[in-house]
Amino acid sequence: MKIALHPDDTSVPKLSCLQVAKGSVPGQTIFVSTYDLICIGAGPTGLACAIEAKRAGLRPLVIDKGCLCNSLYHYPVNMVFFTTPELLEIGDLPLTCATEKPTRTDALKYYRKCVEHYALDLHLGQRVDRVEGTDGGFTVHTRNGQGIASQFAAKKIAVATGYYDLPNQLGIPGEDLSHVSHYYTEPHPFWRQNVVIIGGKNSAAEAALDLYRSGANVTMIHRKAELGSTIKYWVRPDIENRIKAGQIQMLFETEVKAIELGRVIVTSRGGKKTIPADQVFALTGYHPDFAFLRSLGITLDPQTNKPSMNPQTHESNIPGIYVAGVVIGGNHTSEIFIENGRFHGKQIAAALSAQLSNTNSA
């Protein structure tokens, strides 16, 4: 049986999405009325796209497989942003915080308030399985954690799926062991434990400092000869001084060959050796979901994986499908941040308004 939620459909029973989500009709498919725009991704960029579409008089829906701002939620608990509050703002709403730079908690609270202020329509916990149809008549197929399949109709699609969900794999034995993680959250569980951090950029440096100050025995392993150039300016002297003092062990020009229970196997110019490891954080970066972009028919550059798109409108090579945020940077994830990705919504909304206005007047 299929449940239709079209307001003019009297041939089937009408149940709210909330009723279905609570399992009153488990395993059934929901049809909803057509949206002008479906934004796939409920991060700051996806929210900005929906907000600008709504301000332009359009009807948007935001879908995400996780919670609101799922990537920000999974950032380290005590993370402080590199930027100042006004550069994280969307929808012309002010972000106020007690300190010069906003924290993860400040940002999560702010984006919740943005959604509430603009009364955005969100469907969270909905993983997109596939998108069918063409410009003006797309169907987005999703499935939630209970296995309930849903279908959402839209005239246009905006993809703002970010990159934090897909870590860059090392491709070594033991990477899937239970004490190995590509995400660092907080230090407390690792007090007085041997912790190995793989990576030499900002996230690795901040995690190392946080763990060290919470009583962990920290070893950093980096395949290059020096720390990454993108480390925050106030973090760099701190991590360099801790390394110089021997408080954090640093192995430059070293490669991890395997991870085993209780240890990490590495090689360097000095040969092969083992490092004690109760916990391993492989903080080697992340990448967008290129497979999903290709499944939509979007052409990616063979070298950079940047999607084919109109830089003024952000419309991809597939008519009616737009790309926004970090996904447009391809492999170069450091090119797009919240600070500049938040403006993509205005470009997309302007293009949508013009196209839909022309369609309605035709």
Output the pLDDT for position 208: 98
Output the pLDDT for position 1: 35
Say yes or no: 69 and 118 in one domain.
yes
Say yes or no: 241 and 299 in one domain.
no
Domain end: 282, 305, 330, which one?
282
Output the pLDDT for position 338: 83
Output the pLDDT for position 362: 53
Say yes or no: 263 and 158 in one domain.
no
Domain count, the chain: 2
Say yes or no: 72 and 114 in one domain.
yes
Question: Is residue 14 in some structural domain?
Answer: no
145 CB-near residues (< 8 Å, 6+ apart): 125
49, 349 contact by CB (below 8 A): yes
Question: Is residue 230 in some structural domain?
Answer: yes
Helix (H, G, I), strand (E, B) or coil at 53: helix
CATH number for 247: 3.50.50.60
Say yes or no: 266 and 357 in one domain.
no
Alpha carbon distances (Å) from 10 to 4, 7, 64, 216: 9, 8, 30, 63
Say yes or no: 160 and 200 in one domain.
no
Question: Is residue 44 in some structural domain?
Answer: yes
CA distance 202 to 229: 9
Say yes or no: 43 and 133 in one domain.
yes
Say yes or no: 94 and 184 in one domain.
no
Output the pLDDT for position 28: 58
Output the pLDDT for position 14: 37
Output the pLDDT for position 353: 87
193, 187 contact by CB (below 8 A): no
Question: Is residue 8 in some structural domain?
Answer: no
Residue-number span of the structural domain to which 206 is assigned: 180-282
Say yes or no: 47 and 63 in one domain.
yes
Say yes or no: 46 and 158 in one domain.
yes
Output the pLDDT for position 7: 35
Say yes or no: 47 and 144 in one domain.
yes
Domain end: 267, 282, 297, which one?
282
Question: Is residue 311 in some structural domain?
Answer: yes
* DSSP string for 233-277: TTTHHHHHHHHHTTSSEEE-S-EEEEEETEEEEEEETTEEEEEEE
Domain end: 282, 306, 332, which one?
282
Question: Is residue 7 in some structural domain?
Answer: no
Say yes or no: 189 and 258 in one domain.
yes
Question: Is residue 341 in some structural domain?
Answer: yes
Regions in the chain scoring below 50 on pLDDT: 1-24
Output the pLDDT for position 335: 82
